[in-house]
Structure 1
Amino acid sequence: MIRVAFLINFSKEYKGGINYIKNLLYTNCITKFPDLEFYVFVPSNIEQEYIDLFSPYAKVIYTDIFKTFTIPWFLNKAFNRAFKYQLPLYMLFKKHKINVVSHSFFWGNYRSLKLINWIPDFQRLHFPELWTKEQLDNITNIDNNIVKYSDVVILSSYDALNDYKKFVPEKLRKARVLQFVSQPGSISDVNKLYPQVRKKYNLLDEFFYLPNQFWSHKNHIVVLKAINLMVKSGLNPILVTTGVMNDFRGNNQNLVIIKDYIEKNNLTKNILLLGLIPYNEVLILMRKCVAVINPSFFEGWSSTIEEAKSIGKTVVLSDIPVHHEQNPNHAFYFNPRDEKELAHILTNLWSNRDVLLIEPTEKIKEELKDELLRRTRAFSENYYKIIKSLMQNN
């Protein structure tokens, strides 16, 4: 039996990481590899919603090592700082006979453990101006440690692999591309559930949806400008946005700019900023919208697009390489710096919203379900090959 551990040792606001791990764990329910067993190590005070998220697919192990300001937490930090070796955590792994630690920002010289780490993207290489020097140094140091100590470095796209080749061409043998698949959730009756969400957020039945964090590179402003052009042309489009309303880098000027633009152009009725909402509501809004928009200047591999692909939703995407690599069937691409081009696309979609909002036929739903199953199997089988190859080289 190969025991694979995942660690929730990062901020729970990092929803992309949480959902990635959940989706990866879920895939084994489809392929059911009998020699794989998953464990998730979580802070002892973690909320029940996260237990509910992971427990169907893995054994959940509670530990004070990830609970801040506890004695085990301090001890683990002290060992790591002094010896670059997390002894308390390592002993916990030994207790549970863990063979592999995966996707967990965990590194060091641990002879009896195989380490798989994930670099989501190399945004810092393309947009260094979005980071302070200290932040750039920190993330570069993290990436260097991942490459140095990991047996395998997971990348989510071939676009990211191209960046990896520039970053550490001498370590190319460690790199593996694993294109993840997001599950859209088994929401049985969206039409019954949506009225509750509609009432909760004071929504209408027709709207575009932009479910992105409010980080500056996510480029919300081009969509706001496009909506403004549509309003000036006599249309009355609605844009619903969701996501954490701050930048993890600490510079929230982007949000100030967004709110100022909405106010100065009298768009408060056209652009709704809902902030962070429950994930099941995100999936409901995605199903009920006219189209999903992702205007980002940079992505590693967009879970938004993956979810939209799985339900056959029309997407409007910035014209960047990774969006083409994800290759959704119903996609319109635009220059992320050109609000006029975007406004033209959105105007055409808004004019045909009655057609776009028609519920998919049962045949189309079955086809989408089959295609999702195919992609999910591929995701799981590719990960399994990585694990098996790693253990065979033990």
Structure 2
Amino acid sequence: MRVAFNLIESARWTGGYNYLINLFRAIRNYEADHISPILFCGKDADECDVRAFLEAGDIEVVRSSVFDAHKKTSNILHAYLFGVDSHALQVFRRHQVDVVFENATFYGRRFPIPTIAWLPDFQHRHLRHQFGLRAYWQREFGYRAQVASGRVIMLSSEDARKDCERFYRRAKGRTAVVQFAAFISSDLIDAFPEKVVQEYGLPSQFFYLPNQFWKHKNHLVVIEALGLLKRLGVDVVVAVTGNPLDPRHPEYIGQLHARIESLGLRHNFRVMGLVPRRHVIALMQTCTALINPSFCEGWSSTVEEARILGVPMLLSDIAVHREQMENGATYFKADDVEGLAAKMRDIASAVSLISSTRKPDASSYERVRRFARDFSVVVDQAIAGPLLKDVA
């Protein structure tokens, strides 16, 4: 089955980019006999992004100006007005595509190729105040159009499925949950990860927050918790990596830096920006604990990677984190500065030595196998047609 995917650029959405790479690896390892992924991208696509997919396996890449970034809005408008993105359809047919994976775009209500619509999360519904009028309706119209067009709706968690079927009742009976599973190859496991820690000038004990700097990721609660700990005389360091760009709130990173300066936390809240993936894994191998303070998630890829390596976790108490980790993490309310500070202090004082021998646990391979299998089932659903029962 030839399945078309549109490139998710790492500079715009690191989590989505990593999601696709991990999905391609899972397919290569466990469903290659059934699914042949084809990556479609514009001629303006970043070469490093495309190369990473080629390294993920035997991937066919199709470059076409149809998918150039500056044409995306006009292509979607064409699909809304005429019922089909005829330009994309021509390219897909030329390459004998059987199924299309539709993410953050819309190919039209009359698009004739079976289509899977991936809705990563519903943050625009839960965090309405973080969306301007245009951003809110752009996402909402897109979701409504995908649901109304009879797509199979793919979601990343049961929590997201509940949201989808509550917000868009017509989706009921056409939803499928495919839980993301990360793949950490042996070449990414550093035998001496302490060298990476030293390279960044970090202390031997530090918390790690590897989230893109989007407002809903809630970095501010960690900054405020560090400020409280500093006033109490407790010296804690948080290493923070991730893309500093929030397209909806470009001023957000500046506001965070201003708060860091006002609280005198430059030493404690270490903003490191984008770092190589090998370094991300090395920091997970050596950190005291991983923190994810997010207000909303579809299924956290960083939590999944930390689970593989056996990293202790301090997570915001949201339903999807509970679904993902159950009792395998420590939880705090996303807006509870005092509660987070207390738990950071307790974890830091209880840890005397961090093992740098953290490696993927054996059960992670079974989760990757299930990830590939569940996606394969959704592909079959899309081929069979829209009137389907839930698969999970």
Q: Common fold, TM-score beyond 0.5?
A: yes
Residue 111 of structure 1: CA displacement? 5.7
Residue 305 of structure 1: CA displacement? 0.6
- 1:389 aligned onto 2:366: no
Q: Does the Cα contact within 8 Å between 2:116 and 2:151 map onto a contact in 1?
A: yes
> Counterpart of 1:58?
59
Residue 83 of structure 1: CA displacement? 2.3
C-alpha distance in structure 1 between counterparts of 2:189 and 2:161, whole Å: 40
C-alpha distance in structure 1 between counterparts of 2:382 and 2:255, whole Å: 48
Q: Does the Cα contact within 8 Å between 1:26 and 1:57 map onto a contact in 2?
A: no
Q: Does the Cα contact within 8 Å between 1:305 and 1:328 map onto a contact in 2?
A: no
Residues 75 and 154 (structure 1), Cα distance of their counterparts in 2 relative to 1, 3 Å cut:
closer
> Counterpart of 2:363?
371
Q: Which amino acid aligns with 1:369?
A: D
- 1:116 aligned onto 2:108: no
Match 2:329 to one of 328, 331, 336: 331
Identity of aligned residues (%): 30
Moved more, 94-103 or 147-156: 147-156
**What is the SS of the residue equivalent to 2:2?**
strand
| 1:270-317 Cα distance to aligned partner (Å, 9 max, x none) | 111112223332222222211100111111111111111111100100
Unmatched tracts of structure 1, length 5 or more = none
Residues 108 and 238 (structure 1), Cα distance of their counterparts in 2 relative to 1, 3 Å cut:
same
C-alpha distance in structure 1 between counterparts of 2:73 and 2:379, whole Å: 32
Root-mean-square deviation over aligned CA pairs? 2.5
Residue 32 of structure 1: CA displacement? 3.4
Residues 75 and 351 (structure 1), Cα distance of their counterparts in 2 relative to 1, 3 Å cut:
closer
Residues 384 and 188 (structure 1), Cα distance of their counterparts in 2 relative to 1, 3 Å cut:
closer
- 1:208 aligned onto 2:207: yes
- 1:236 aligned onto 2:228: no
> Counterpart of 1:142?
142
C-alpha distance in structure 1 between counterparts of 2:167 and 2:73, whole Å: 33
C-alpha distance in structure 1 between counterparts of 2:36 and 2:355, whole Å: 42
C-alpha distance in structure 2 between counterparts of 1:68 and 1:37, whole Å: 25
Taking structure 1 as the reference length, the TM-score comes to 0.89
Residues 57 and 326 (structure 1), Cα distance of their counterparts in 2 relative to 1, 3 Å cut:
farther
> Counterpart of 2:271?
273
Taking structure 2 as the reference length, the TM-score comes to 0.89
| 1:342-387 Cα distance to aligned partner (Å, 9 max, x none) | 11211121113324x12347xxx5xx53210111111111111111
Match 1:350 to one of 348, 351, 359: 348
Q: Which amino acid aligns with 2:376?
A: Y
Number of aligned residues: 383
| 1:143-184 Cα distance to aligned partner (Å, 9 max, x none) | 111212252111111111111122111321221111111223
Residue 191 of structure 1: CA displacement? 4.4
* Larger relative contact order (Cα-Cα within 8 Å, sequence gap ≥ 6): 2
Q: Does the Cα contact within 8 Å between 1:99 and 1:112 map onto a contact in 2?
A: no
Q: Does the Cα contact within 8 Å between 2:23 and 2:372 map onto a contact in 1?
A: yes
Residue 78 of structure 1: CA displacement? 8.1
> Counterpart of 2:390?
none
Residues 339 and 96 (structure 1), Cα distance of their counterparts in 2 relative to 1, 3 Å cut:
same
**What is the SS of the residue equivalent to 1:141?**
helix
Match 1:263 to one of 241, 261, 264: 261
Moved more, 134-143 or 45-54: 45-54
Match 1:380 to one of 348, 372, 378: 372
**What is the SS of the residue equivalent to 1:354?**
coil
Unmatched tracts of structure 2, length 5 or more = 387-392
Q: Which amino acid aligns with 1:370?
A: A
C-alpha distance in structure 1 between counterparts of 2:188 and 2:214, whole Å: 32
Residue 74 of structure 1: CA displacement? 10
Aligned runs of 1:243-322 on 2, under 5 Å?
Answer: 243-252=242-251, 254-322=252-320
Moved more, 374-383 or 241-250: 241-250
| 1:253-284 Cα distance to aligned partner (Å, 9 max, x none) | x4343222221221111111112223332222
Q: Which amino acid aligns with 1:144?
A: R
Residues 39 and 194 (structure 1), Cα distance of their counterparts in 2 relative to 1, 3 Å cut:
farther
Q: Does the Cα contact within 8 Å between 2:78 and 2:85 map onto a contact in 1?
A: yes
Q: Does the Cα contact within 8 Å between 1:207 and 1:239 map onto a contact in 2?
A: yes
Residue 142 of structure 1: CA displacement? 0.9
